[in-house]
DNA sequence: TTGAAAGCGCTAACAG
DNA sequence: CTGTTAGCGCTTTCAA
């Protein structure tokens, strides 16, 4: 059927070992034979069989991305799709491919075993929502390369992870609002059981402190992430004595709730209330006024996760790395007072 | 390292051929030896090496999903994520895994070659936005199993595809509006270069005809899919002489534009204007009134695509199938007049 | 119903 | 620098 290394060897008048060497571009080869073999390979339209290589090397040229089917919202969809694209881009450059393995949480142990034992993956990328000590120990015991997407802290054991620099995002949001003349800044976010919300809060606090801005306990509101809770929270804030004149929201949905509250109370955005949202999706450019957002580069997060994993694959004893991706303020209407 | 077929054979006192037979549960085997071998396999925690099997069989136990990176909107994101999940679910049941291969359109030919030759996939799933005669001919020439996601008609050559029954969706939208007392129904959709928009239009027309409802040419509006164009279109409709009292939108974004126009013109939804949207995401439950939607089960589309592909893998000469997934009306506020 | 043995296509000592 | 050769783990004739 397809042409194999043996036929190339014969046609080029060399041994299969030599052909193998040019495939893997081994350094110890004369330029002359290398060129000759390459030429024949091209002519005969040779493609190495990744299965045979895999069998020889004891590894498939694949890495897996575990996806958490149960939590489509935390890693919400367009978000994850972008991450995946980033990963795919990076691994493809190395001739590897990305396989998707979905898990419902309870079965993750099994699935990971399957990926390691049967499918012989080279490495695996795990969202932090699926990572836990038990799973990671299984991986570590086997010296199996993995990286976590989303900050993961688990005692003293080092783990490679990549995350968005949410603290920086929180700081940027505050700094941007201050620059635009707002000084009484509230924060409405999702559950504090999520590390990224804690990080954003931390950034928020730091920035306020650094700029010597007031900070009120009731300006920090934790919600379940729904539009309705954001709405109620904002309404309460606007009715309170120490009413803020700006607010930072954890995502577009929360912002939507805030906008509804403002509208009802006839508080004008951005004139009376500045608004900065995390995320650019799905509403940022759709609503009026459009939302100034803390943009999160999830594509890059995927790329970096993949590169980190590739490094571990190349050298399983390489040190674990923790990487943060910078956020950026995307300025739109909701935070700029028209003059 | 891991235990191999040879060790199982030795431990069970049989040959490797026999072990292989139980792995593939070949019929010609005494129950007794089968049980014995199975027991040993369990005890020794044996897992077959998919690479070695692949090499022997000349195929990797993988199928690929091509994704079109250039067109994140046509197959818009959460949509595609669900499709992928459906595919993964179906192939996993068969012990296969799903690999993701992204393409920017120009390079799809190469990528598909790579998947066939080097990665030795068993089959491939292609979004219709990436499918064209040239690519499919390449696949056909190699007798390589593939299915297209999204209706694909290309002359007389049969192709397996699965799609949402968009025509049915259009009909359902009309029927639902009529049932709720609206009789002057407009349609605002995206570009008519997309087959799904044509199908919806077709359904719309048929339903109107069947119910003997009026139909005006200017009630059918093609847009670029932006909120703004929907807004302008709706405004024009509301100002026109033969103003409709209901409208069907191609997606949530268009609906958002329509809602803005209605609000500005002080036309109340659903009282004065009924609204039905395609898709449930991202705004359907968020806006007020919430959007009655034509729900599209993309998870199922993924599953069916995968099953169709598996059938072709099992028997490459199986007949090509075309499958349509039913849509359903999800009733919310925007189309029900409060009494 | 089972076993022996020859591959599948590639890699990696080892020898030269 | 290059060739010989023995696997990698499984499948599959062919014989028994």
Residue pLDDT, tens place only, B310-335: 999 988 888 999 999 999 999 999 99
Q: In this complex, is the C-beta atom of A156 within 8 Å of any C-beta atom belonging to chain B?
A: no
SS3 state at B324: strand
Q: Which pLDDT belongs to residue B316?
A: 84
* Chain B residues in contact with A98 (beta carbon < 8 A): 99-100
Gap from A23 CA to C14 C1', in Å? 21
Residue pLDDT, tens place only, B183-208: 999 999 999 999 999 999 999 999 99
What nucleotide is nearest B58 when CA is compared to C1'?
A: C8
**Residue of B100, B102, B103, B144 best to disrupt the A interface, most CBs of A under 10 A:** B100
> What nucleotides of chain D have any atom within 7 angstroms of a protein Cβ?
1-13
CB A321 within 8 A of CB A308: yes
Cα–Cα distance for residue pair A160/B291, rounded to 1 Å: 43
Cα–Cα distance for residue pair A229/A223, rounded to 1 Å: 6
**Protein residues in reach of strand C (CB < 7 A):** A 1-2, 4-6, 16-17, 19-20, 23-24, 48-49, 52-53, 55-57; B 13-18, 21, 28-30, 32-34, 52, 55-56, 58
Point out the residue nearest to D3 (C-alpha to C1').
A15
Look at B227 and A286 and tell me if their CB atoms are within 8 Å.
yes
Quick check: B179 pLDDT over 60? yes
Gap from A117 CA to D8 C1', in Å? 15
Please give the residue of chain B at the shortest CA–CA distance from A57.
Answer: B51
Gap from B58 CA to C14 C1', in Å? 30
* Chain B residues in contact with A51 (beta carbon < 8 A): 51, 54-55, 59-60, 120
Give B132: exposed, middle or buried? Use CB within 10 Å, 0-12, 13-18, 19+: middle
Tokens representing A233? 């929270």
Q: In this complex, is the C-beta atom of B335 within 8 Å of any C-beta atom belonging to chain A?
A: no
CB A231 within 8 A of CB A257: yes
Q: Rounded to the nearest 5°, which phi and psi values hold at A148?
A: -100, 140
**CATH value of A5-48 in 3.40.120.10, 3.40.50.720, 2.60.40.10, 1.10.260.40:** 1.10.260.40
Q: In this complex, is the C-beta atom of B292 within 8 Å of any C-beta atom belonging to chain A?
A: no
CA distance A299 to chain B (A): 12
Q: Which pLDDT belongs to residue B76?
A: 59
- DSSP letter at A194 equals S
CB B328 within 8 A of CB B292: no
Cα–Cα distance for residue pair B93/B243, rounded to 1 Å: 53
Nearest to A286 among B97, B100, B256 (CB): B256
The helix or strand, by DSSP H or E, that contains position B10, with its residue range, turns out to be: helix B5-12
Tokens representing B242? 């033969």
Residue pLDDT, tens place only, A210-266: 999 999 999 999 999 999 999 999 999 999 999 999 999 999 999 999 999 999 999
Q: Which pLDDT belongs to residue A75?
A: 53
Radius of gyration from C-alpha coordinates of chain B: 26
Peptide bond into A59 cis (omega under 30): no
Parts of chain A with a pLDDT under 70:
1, 72-77
Listed in sequence order, the residues at least 6 apart from B159 whose beta carbon sits closer than 8 Å to its beta carbon are B131, B136, B148, B152, B153, B320, B322
The model's pTM is: 0.93
Q: Which pLDDT belongs to residue B281?
A: 86
- Kindly report the CA angle at B286 between B284 and B291, in degrees rounded to 5? 30
Look at B49 and A81 and tell me if their CB atoms are within 8 Å.
no
Q: In this complex, is the C-beta atom of A62 within 8 Å of any C-beta atom belonging to chain B?
A: yes
Listed in sequence order, the residues at least 6 apart from B228 whose beta carbon sits closer than 8 Å to its beta carbon are B257
Please give the residue of chain B at the shortest CA–CA distance from A226.
Answer: B286
b/e per residue A1-35 (b: at least 16 CB within 10 A): eeebbeebbebbebeeebbbbbbeeeeeeeeebee
Look at A100 and B101 and tell me if their CB atoms are within 8 Å.
no
Instruction: Report the sign of the C-alpha dihedral through residues A140, A145, A149, A152, in that order.
Output: positive
DSSP code per residue over A207-264: HHHHTT----GGGEEE--S-HHHHHHHHHHHHHSTT--SEEEESSHHHHHHHHHHHHH
> What nucleotides of chain C have any atom within 7 angstroms of a protein Cβ?
1-13
SS3 state at B277: strand
Cα–Cα distance for residue pair A46/A56, rounded to 1 Å: 19
Q: In this complex, is the C-beta atom of B299 within 8 Å of any C-beta atom belonging to chain A?
A: no
Cα–Cα distance for residue pair A8/A17, rounded to 1 Å: 11
Q: What's the mean per-residue pLDDT of chain B?
A: 93
Look at B286 and A253 and tell me if their CB atoms are within 8 Å.
yes
SS3 state at B123: strand
Outline where DSSP puts E strands in chain B.
62-68, 97-103, 123-127, 146-149, 161-164, 185-189, 220-222, 246-249, 274-278, 292-295, 322-325, 328-330
**Residue of A67, A118, A287 best to disrupt the B interface, most CBs of B under 10 A:** A118
What's the maximum distance between 2 C-alpha atoms anywhere in chain B?
89
Could you give the dihedral angle defined by the CA atoms of residues A143, A146, A152 and A155, in that order, rounded to the nearest 10 degrees? 0
* Chain B residues in contact with A306 (beta carbon < 8 A): none
Residue pLDDT, tens place only, B215-274: 999 999 999 999 999 999 999 999 999 999 999 999 999 999 999 999 999 999 999 999
Location of structure tokens 């990528």: B111
Location of structure tokens 């036929």: A7
Q: How confident is the model at residue B74 (pLDDT cuts 50, 70, 90)?
A: low
Cα–Cα distance for residue pair A240/A249, rounded to 1 Å: 18
Tokens representing B304? 């069916």
Instruction: Report the sign of the C-alpha dihedral through residues A168, A177, A198, A278, in that order.
Output: negative
Location of structure tokens 């009789």: B183
* Chain A residues in contact with B255 (beta carbon < 8 A): none
- DSSP letter at A117 equals I
Gap from B179 CA to C11 C1', in Å? 71
b/e per residue A120-137 (b: at least 16 CB within 10 A): bbbbbbbbbbbbeeebbe
Tokens representing B152? 């694909």
B176 half-sphere exposure, CB direction, 13 A CA radius? 29
What nucleotide is nearest B6 when CA is compared to C1'?
A: D9
Residue pLDDT, tens place only, B75-101: 556 788 889 999 999 999 998 999 999
* Chain B residues in contact with A55 (beta carbon < 8 A): 49, 51-52, 54-55
Q: Rounded to the nearest 5°, which phi and psi values hold at B68?
A: -95, 105
What nucleotide is nearest B34 when CA is compared to C1'?
A: C1
The helix or strand, by DSSP H or E, that contains position B330, with its residue range, turns out to be: strand B328-330
Q: In this complex, is the C-beta atom of B53 within 8 Å of any C-beta atom belonging to chain A?
A: no
The helix or strand, by DSSP H or E, that contains position B290, with its residue range, turns out to be: none
Quick check: B153 pLDDT over 90? no
- DSSP letter at B218 equals G
- Kindly report the CA angle at B251 between B245 and B252, in degrees rounded to 5? 85
**Protein residues in reach of strand D (CB < 7 A):** A 13-18, 21, 28-30, 32-34, 52, 55-56, 58; B 1-2, 4-6, 16-17, 19-21, 23-24, 48-49, 52-53, 55-57
DSSP code per residue over A280-332: --SSTTTSSSPPEEEE--HHHHHHHHHHHHHHHHH-TTSPP-EEEEPPEEE--
Count of Cβ atoms closer than 10 Å to residue A38 Cβ: 17
Cα–Cα distance for residue pair A231/B19, rounded to 1 Å: 64
Cα–Cα distance for residue pair A335/A179, rounded to 1 Å: 10
Would you say the CATH fold of A166-296+329-335 matches that of A62-164+298-325? yes
Cα–Cα distance for residue pair B17/B315, rounded to 1 Å: 25
CATH topology of domain A166-296+329-335: Rossmann fold (3.40.50)
B-proximal residues of A, 65-124, CB under 8 Å: 67, 69, 72, 76-78, 80-82, 84-85, 88-89, 92, 97-102, 117-120
A-proximal residues of B, 234-273, CB under 8 Å: 253, 256, 260
Please give the residue of chain B at the shortest CA–CA distance from A119.
Answer: B50
Quick check: B56 pLDDT over 70? yes
CATH 3.40.50.2300 corresponds to the domain B62-164+298-325: yes
Cα–Cα distance for residue pair B137/A6, rounded to 1 Å: 30
For chain A, domain boundaries? 5-48, 62-164+298-325, 166-296+329-335
Listed in sequence order, the residues at least 6 apart from B114 whose beta carbon sits closer than 8 Å to its beta carbon are none
SS3 state at B1: coil
């Amino acid at each position: 059927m397809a042409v194999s290394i043996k036929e190339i060897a014969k046609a080029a008048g060399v041994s299969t070992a030599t052909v193998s060497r040019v495939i893997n571009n081994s350094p110890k080869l004369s330029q002359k034979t290398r060129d000759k073999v390459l030429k024949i390979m091209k002519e005969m339209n040779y493609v190495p069989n990744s299965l045979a290589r895999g069998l020889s090397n004891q590894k498939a040229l694949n890495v897996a991305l575990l996806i958490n089917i149960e939590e489509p919202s935390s890693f919400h969809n367009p978000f994850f799709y972008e991450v995946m694209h980033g990963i795919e881009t990076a691994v493809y450059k190395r001739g590897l491919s990305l396989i998707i393995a979905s898990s419902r949480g309870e079965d993750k142990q099994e699935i990971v075993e399957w990926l390691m034992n049967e499918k012989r993956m080279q490495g695996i990328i795990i969202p932090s929502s699926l990572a836990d000590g038990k799973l990671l120990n299984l991986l570590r015991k086997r010296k199996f390369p993995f990286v976590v997407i989303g900050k993961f802290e688990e005692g003293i054991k080092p783990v490679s992870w990549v995350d968005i620099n949410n603290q920086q995002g929180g700081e940027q949001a505050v700094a941007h609002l201050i620059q635009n003349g707002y000084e009484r800044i509230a924060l409405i976010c999702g559950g504090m059981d999520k590390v990224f919300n804690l990080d954003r809060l931390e950034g928020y606090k730091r920035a306020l402190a650094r700029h010597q801005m007031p900070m009120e306990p009731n300006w920090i509101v934790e919600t379940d992430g729904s539009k309705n809770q954001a709405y109620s929270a904002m309404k309460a804030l606007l009715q309170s004595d120490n009413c803020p004149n700006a607010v930072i929201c954890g995502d577009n949905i929360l912002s939507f709730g805030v906008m509804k509250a403002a509208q009802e109370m006839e508080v004008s955005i951005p004139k009376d209330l500045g608004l900065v949202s995390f995320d650019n999706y799905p509403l940022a450019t759709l609503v009026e006024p459009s939302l100034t957002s803390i943009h999160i580069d999830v594509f890059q997060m995927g790329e970096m996760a993949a590169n980190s994993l590739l490094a571990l694959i190349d050298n399983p004893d390489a040190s674990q790395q923790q990487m943060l991706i910078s956020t950026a303020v995307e300025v739109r209407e909701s935070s700029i007072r028209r003059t």
